[in-house]
Structure formats: C-alpha cells, structure tokens
C-alpha cells in the first residue's frame, strides 16, 4: 500500500511541476464577462412602429430599456452594456458610404441616444457592417 500511495504522490508532484499557474494581471479589468442587454433576441428587425409602437426598434424603446436597466438594479449588478443590433439604420447608405440612423424611428439621431445611455452610467454599443448593406438588407 505504501508503494501505491508513493506512486500516486510522485505522479501528482510531477504533474504539478508540468502545469504552470495562470498568468493574469491584477488590474481590475474583466473581473466578469461583459454583461448587458442586446436587442436582437427579443426584437429582431421589428421596425414597424405604426403597427407595434411599443416593441419596434426605436429611440423610445432603447431609452425605456436603459431606464429599466438602471431602475431594476441591473446596472448595479454589472449589466452595463446596452447594444443596438441590426435594423437601426436606413436601408441605403449615404453617398459617402456611411450608415445613417432611420430618422423616423430615431428622430434625434444615434448621438442623442448614446448620450442618454451614457448619462445613465451604461455603455453603448451598436451593430454595424462594412458590406453594401447590413443583414437587414
């Protein structure tokens, strides 16, 4: 029995020397995975604000979501990202090739919305695409 325990101990000791401890910085970055809310899974490309004004992708919706993240305690629990996925833009790019917010649904523009979200202590993110069109078409 003593030989069996010694053998196991030696193998364990050998393996301990083969493995290297994880190398990481103690700088406070990425203590948790990025946590937040993204529009795609719930709202997809719902852009019809006439038929479904409460659930269409719009400035009003994202302001409401930002308010809920703060008021319901999600921000304080670490859910700090609010990300707009596809379908926020016009279907066509500008003459210079830039994506432009759909001004019917985002009448004050994306900068206004980003400022609103940032003032709530949240981080703003958005989907974009470098192709001729987004996934929306």
Instruction: Give the start-to-end residue ranges of the domains of the chain.
Output: 25-126
**Mean pLDDT score of the chain:** 88
Using 50, 70 and 90 to split pLDDT, how confident is the model at 11?
Answer: confident
* Cβ count near 50 (within 10 Å): 7
Residues 6+ apart with CB under 8 A from 78: 32, 35
Please tell me the predicted confidence (pLDDT) of residue 7. Answer: 72
Q: With contact defined as beta carbons under 8 Å apart, do 81 and 34 qualify? A: yes
> pLDDT by residue (tens digit) across 21-35?
666 678 888 888 899
> pLDDT by residue (tens digit) across 79-128?
999 999 999 999 888 899 888 999 999 999 999 999 999 999 999 999 98
Residue 19 pLDDT > 80: no
């Amino acid at each position: 029995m003593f030989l069996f325990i010694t053998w196991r101990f030696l193998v364990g000791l050998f393996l301990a020397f083969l493995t290297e401890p994880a190398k990481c910085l103690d700088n406070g970055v990425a203590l948790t995975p990025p946590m937040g809310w993204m529009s795609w899974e719930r709202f997809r490309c719902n852009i019809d604000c006439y038929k479904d004004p409460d659930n269409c992708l719009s400035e009003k919706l994202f302001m409401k979501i930002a308010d809920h993240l703060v008021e319901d305690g999600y921000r304080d629990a670490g859910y700090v990202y609010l990300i707009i996925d596809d379908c926020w833009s016009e279907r066509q790019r500008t003459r210079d090739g830039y994506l432009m917010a759909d001004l019917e649904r985002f009448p004050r523009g994306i900068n206004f919305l980003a400022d609103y979200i940032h003032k709530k202590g949240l981080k703003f993110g958005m989907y974009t695409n470098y192709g001729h069109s987004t996934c929306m078409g």
